[in-house]
Amino acid sequence: MDPKDAPNVEPVLGGRVPLLWPDLSPCAIKAAIQQGVWENRCLARCDSGCEYIGMRESTWIMKPTARSHKPRQGKSSVRSSSIAALLENIVTANLILAQHGVLDAYGHVSVRHPEEPEHFLLSRSMAPELVTESDIIEFGLDGRPVGRDLRKPHLETPIHSEIYKARPDVMAIVHSHAPSVIPFCASTARLRPIYHMSSFLSTDTPVFDIRKKFGCTDMLVREPEQGTALAATLGKGRVALMRGHGFVTAGDTLPLAVFQAIYTTLNASLLCQAISLGGEITYLESDEAELAWETNRASVSKPWEVWTRNALRRVGEPKRGTRR
């Protein structure tokens, strides 16, 4: 169907109709304008049509109208006002982790849907530092997008779906390839807490070796079965390393998951330095770690606040060569 033949259509820029046009649901959101990407469904889940307003970079752009846009009521909408702050926090978490070097062009962070425990929110496949609210996709615990969302998901979405499935207590997950952690994924040296800020680490952080169960792979956790095996390695813990790959951390809240991801990498760096000194290393004992973690988790809002401020401040800085 050509947009010009449809009711309530206002062609602005013109251009050819993409092959996907007949399969589009009522509207595409502002990300199509900002990012030049497809949105195959209205994130407000309207029950009726939305206006076609033009085309940019081979993308047909739609917008809601007062006549046609009637958001579906109910708690299933990822854009409901009750979780608007959470969506902002997911974007902020991506920025924080990227700016701390925990995530680079790869890696991802997700959060369980607060109104639909069988769903979780994760960005489409893209560099974390570029994620915006409009890039967030809602998934079911089967690892599939909810609705007719055709945007490309992360290849390792099963990391998230299978941990959420196995751990109802987990509310947020971070997967990272941080270089400081990799040596402990590939050697017999174990990642253990060396100071109080990393007290959430197990006295013997487990290592998931995908080859042991699945043979030769590209090291990515692509399939649900692989995600299930990773979740089993994580067990009831907060961090699991992944041989030749990186690590995953699971938290009770999004700020806690971010805290754990950052201090996992810092502990790894410090431990490498301590090992290089050649002396005997004194790690935190389990009772010390438990007491320290109680203190740290109670004050996580303090680092989260400053990390958020710094992340947003950096995003707002003008590019080099531009005038303020």
Instruction: Specify whether 156 is catalytic.
Output: yes
Contacts of 39 (CB under 8 A, 6+ apart): 27, 28, 29, 31, 32, 134, 151
Closest among 163, 137, 128 to 242, alpha carbons compared: 163
Residue with tokens 């043979």: 215
Instruction: Identify whether the C-beta of residue 221 lies closer than 8 Å to the C-beta of residue 163.
Output: no
CA 42 – CA 63 distance, rounded (Å): 9
Candidate list 116, 156, 223, 290, residue with the active-site label: 156
Tokens of 238: 């907060």
Angle at CA of residue 101, ends 138 and 166, nearest 5°: 40
Three-class SS string for 251-319?
ECCHHHHHHHHHHHHHHHHHHHHHHHHCCCCCCCCHHHHHHHHHHHHHCCHHHHHHHHHHHHHHHHCCC
List, by residue number, the catalytic residues: 156
